[in-house]
């Protein structure tokens, strides 16, 4: 980095450091509380702090890599702060190969921009924060409470053999209170999960579009669904762990699985599926949060000879219905609700809501319709926070 760019980055850091550290009791407004890091060995974007892979953490600076020997500077195909990146050579949600930033305790919004990667997840504080970001320069954000004075973040597994890279990080303080805003957590599979870019992807999951149908003043949405997921995987491989770390009374957990569990390769009987789901329901209920079970929609082709769409025997639906009744938790029977909608618009219009040549996965318009159906059913059930007036 040349002298002029270094001085500019240093000045930017000290200005923000004053706001974050010298006046810890001051309630900092959003426009005055943003730290921005530009990773890699290339030029540093204006207003950002440049961070090379070799830059180790120090208390004096208040930021840096915990184990820089496990980091690598790499190029990236984006522009501006996304034109270069660092690659994490060791990773995993429990890895100590993290980028550390000293922060006063409080609630923060973290925006992450990846470098070049096919699929990667983001972890912080030992758990997943974002699941399976896909494509070069993919960007997303999340809320996180800081209670120990430091953010520890890394990019980790999304797909084996993929480079896990980070181009930029923006940190914005939301509150002095280290508690997440009221949250709807969503668990599911490829019909539910996020696709990138979030605001323009052709394919989408209904969890991705769900924020469009609820009040942003009442809830934030954390979509923890992932493609190909089964109940056992969601429970055992880190997604449920991340939810349990933060979920609290007043929050919701909407859980929709079953499609991949029915695939023989996953070796899960309906009885086993039901008990794994029951275990997850019980763990979340124990936190004081509310669980909502949902059944998956059917295929675009599930029309009978009378033009009625029906798929009531698919995806272990009956186990989900029985579990909701046995555990006394709300149920969104999206399977039946979506079939009623598909019947009303007919086979041709229904096919137009799915990816071309694909009878299972909704496109963006289809995901929006499914999200609308879920939100409207929660409103009809009168669940707290979903009222049209709220």
* DSSP for 112-144, written as a single string: EE--S-SEEEEEETTEEEEEEEESTT-EEEEEE
Specify the pLDDT at position 387.
Answer: 77
Alpha helical stretches, state H, 151-212: 206-209
**How far apart are alpha carbons 292 and 187 in whole angstroms?**
10
Per domain, the residue ranges of the chain are: 3-175, 183-380
Q: Does pLDDT of 352 surpass 80?
A: yes
- Among 25-34, 92-101, 308-317, the minimum mean pLDDT is found in 25-34
What is the rounded distance in angstroms from the CA atom of residue 204 to the CA atom of residue 367?
6
Second-level CATH architecture of 183-380: 3-Layer(aba) Sandwich (3.40)
The average pLDDT across 47-54 equals 98
Residue 23 has pLDDT above 50, yes or no: no
Instruction: Give the distance, in angstroms, between the CA of residue 387 and the centroid of all CA atoms in the same chain.
Output: 24
Residue 29, pLDDT above cutoff 90: no
The per-residue pLDDT for 388 is 59
Q: What residues are annotated to the active site?
A: 190, 358, 361
CA dist., res. 40 & res. 28, Å (int)? 29
Q: Which helix (H) or strand (E) holds 335?
A: helix 334-351
Supply the pLDDT for residue 32.
44
| Residues above pLDDT 70, as percent of the chain | 91
How much is the pLDDT for 172?
A: 98
140-154, 158-172, 362-376, range with the lowest pLDDT? 158-172
Pick the CATH number of 3-175 from 3.30.420.40, 3.10.310.10, 2.60.120.430, 3.20.20.70: 2.60.120.430
Both tokens of residue 224?
Answer: 């923890």
In this prediction, residues 280-303 reach a mean pLDDT of 98
Judging by DSSP bridges, how do beta strands 220-223 and 127-134 pair with one another?
unpaired
């Amino acid at each position: 980095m040349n002298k002029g760019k270094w001085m500019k980055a240093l000045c930017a850091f000290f200005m923000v450091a004053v706001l974050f550290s010298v006046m810890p009791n001051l309630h900092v407004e959003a426009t005055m509380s943003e730290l921005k890091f530009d990773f890699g060995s290339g030029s540093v974007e204006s207003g950002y702090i440049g961070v090379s892979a070799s830059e180790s953490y120090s208390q004096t600076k208040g930021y840096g890599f915990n184990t820089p020997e496990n980091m690598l500077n790499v190029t990236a195909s984006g522009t501006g702060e996304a034109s270069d990146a660092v690659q994490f050579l060791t990773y995993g949600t429990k890895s100590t190969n993290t980028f550390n930033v000293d922060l006063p305790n409080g609630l923060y919004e973290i925006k992450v921009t990846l470098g070049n990667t096919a699929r990667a997840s983001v972890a912080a504080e030992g758990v997943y924060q974002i699941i399976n970001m896909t494509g070069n320069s993919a960007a997303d954000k999340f809320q996180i409470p800081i209670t120990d004075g430091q953010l520890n973040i890394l990019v980790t597994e999304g797909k084996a053999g993929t480079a896990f890279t980070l181009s930029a990080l923006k940190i914005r303080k939301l509150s002095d209170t280290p508690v997440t805003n009221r949250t709807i957590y969503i668990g599911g599979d490829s019909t539910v999960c996020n696709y990138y870019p979030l605001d323009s992807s052709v394919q989408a999951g209904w969890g991705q579009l769900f924020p469009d149908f609820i009040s942003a003043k009442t809830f934030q949405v954390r979509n923890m669904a992932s493609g190909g997921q089964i109940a056992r995987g969601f429970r055992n491989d880190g997604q449920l762990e991340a939810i349990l770390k933060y979920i609290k009374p007043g929050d919701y957990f909407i859980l929709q699985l079953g499609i991949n569990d029915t695939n023989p390769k996953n070796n899960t009987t309906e009885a086993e599926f039901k008990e794994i789901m029951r275990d997850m329901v019980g763990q979340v209920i124990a936190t004081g949060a509310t669980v909502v079970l949902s059944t998956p929609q059917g295929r675009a082709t599930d029309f009978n000879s009378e033009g009625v769409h029906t798929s009531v025997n698919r995806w272990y639906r009956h186990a989900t219905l029985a579990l909701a009744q046995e555990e006394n938790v709300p149920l969104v029977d999206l399977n039946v609700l979506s079939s009623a909608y598909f019947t009303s618009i007919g086979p041709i219009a229904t096919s137009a809501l799915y990816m071309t040549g694909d009878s299972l996965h909704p496109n963006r318009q289809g995901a929006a319709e499914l999200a609308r159906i879920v939100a409207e059913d929660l409103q009809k059930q009168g669940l707290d926070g979903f009222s049209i007036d709220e």
